[in-house]
Amino acid sequence: MKRRSIFLNTTAMLGFIFLYAPIISLIVYSFNKSKLVTVWGGWSLKWYTELFNNEQIMDAALVSFNIALISASLAVVLGTMAGFVLSRMGRFRGKMILSGWITAPLIMPEVITGLSLLLLFVAMENMFGWPAGRGTGTIIIAHTTFCMAYVAVIVQSRLASMDETLEEAAMDLGAKPSSLFFLITLPLIAPALISGWLLSFTLSLDDLVIASFVSGPGNSTLPMVIFSKVRLGVTPEVNALATIMIAIVAVGVLAAMYQMRRQTKLSSGQE
């Protein structure tokens, strides 16, 4: 094997440090005994117990997870439909508008998305009384809206790379379009759906700006609570919370990667 040069090694090291140093320091300090975030006082699990006893944070976490679960699932369903239509229906009236509308949330500043959704919800409430007030429901709608854009893009690119003769073969063997979709297309794009779901889940869990616009009283999400707490000064509890969230996301990402690798192995013989 070729020896790697010192330059390459250094670059790699710097990259890793730049990416992971903040995360590692955060994890380490979450086990800090000291009350001061920046002073090391020995190992302890005390902030984790404090965290689990902090009702405000635990409630917010529950709200956030609920919202993330529901909106990721809705986004996968809607996004898959949109991606499927865009890549399989050929040319149709309004395709440009649809694909533009799909990609808009990806490039629109979150502040604009949040504000426009808030205005929409208020207008809708005035016109036909739904959604009554703002809370978990409106956050779910908002998150679904921007997450499905990501899912649609992922599904569309997966479908574009998929061998279309597989679908023709299924039709040829007697599969009607509906059973074709569930028996052939869906299993083959499943990895894209899983990664789309995981991405949506993390995006929703992470979102502060849009949620701030469309949430109501008593429905603060976790990022909103953390943000308001940090304004009053960082507590070690937040470090512990962040560590748990990193662990969850890491497990999710690893699972998605494993799934993707298994699927590419499966279909590599075909493509």
Partner 1 sequence: MTSSQFSELHTPTMTQTANIPLWKREGAEPFLKIENVTKKFGDFTAVDNISLDIYKNELFCLLGGSGSGKSTLLRIMAGFESATSGRIIIDGMDMAGIQPWNRPVNMMFQSYALFPHLNVADNVAFGLRREGVARSEVNKRVEKMLDMVQLGALGKRKPNQLSGGQRQRVALARSLIKRPKLLLLDEPLGALDKKLREETQFELINIQEELGVTFVVVTHDQEEAMTLATRIGVMNNGVIVQTAEPHVVYEYPNSRFVAEFVGSVNLFEGIIVEDLPDSVRIRSTEAGAELHVNHGISCAPNQVVHMAIRPEKIKISRQKPEQNVNCLHGVIEDIAYMGSLSVFKVRLASGKDVRITQPNFVRDMGARFTWHDSVYLSWDMDSSVVLTS
Min CB(155)–partner 1 separation in Å: 17
Nearer residue to partner 1 within complex by CB, 100 or 163:
163
Contact between 91 and partner 1 by CB under 8 A: the answer reads: no
Q: Which of 77, 89, 254, 266 binds partner 1 (CB under 8 A)?
A: 266
The total of other beta-carbon atoms located within 10 Å of residue 167's CB is 19
Confirm or reject binding of residue 176 to partner 1 (CB under 8 A): yes
Interacting residue with partner 1 among 1, 97, 173, 232 (CB under 8 A): 173
For residues 143 and 158, which CB has a smaller minimum distance to partner 1 in the complex?
Answer: 158
170, 193, 211, 225: which one binds partner 1 (CB under 8 A): 170
Count of all residues that appear for the chain in the document: 271
State which of positions 186-225 bind partner 1 (CB under 8 A). 187-188
Q: Where on the phi/psi map is residue 40: left (φ > 0), alpha (ψ -120 to 50), or beta?
A: beta
With 0-12 / 13-18 / 19 or more C-beta atoms within 10 angstroms meaning exposed / middle / buried, residue 177 is: exposed
Residue 168 binds partner 1 (CB under 8 A): yes
User: Token digits for 37?
Assistant: 């975030």
Nearest distance in Å: CB 149, partner 1: 27
Q: Can you give the C-alpha Rg of the chain in angstroms?
A: 23
Whole-number Å distance between alpha carbons of 219 and 225: 10
Give the C-alpha separation, 215 to 140, whole Å: 10
179 is an interface residue for partner 1 by CB under 8 A: yes
Q: Is residue 206 within 8 Å of 223, Cβ to Cβ?
A: yes
Nearer to partner 1, 66 or 267 (CB): 267
Query: Which positions from 119 to 158 touch partner 1 by CB under 8 A, shown as an x/- string?
Result: ----------------------------------------
Scan residues 46-75 and list those touching partner 1 (CB under 8 A): none
For residues 87-120, one letter each, b for 16 or more C-beta atoms within 10 angstroms of the residue's C-beta and e for the rest, the string is bbeeeeeeeeebbeebeebeeeebeebbeebbeb
Residue 162 beta carbon to partner 1: minimum distance, rounded to whole angstroms:
10
Q: What whole-number distance in Å separates Cα of residue 224 and Cα of residue 229? A: 9
Question: Site residues (CB under 8 A) for partner 1?
Answer: 163, 165-166, 168-176, 179, 183-184, 187-188, 265-270
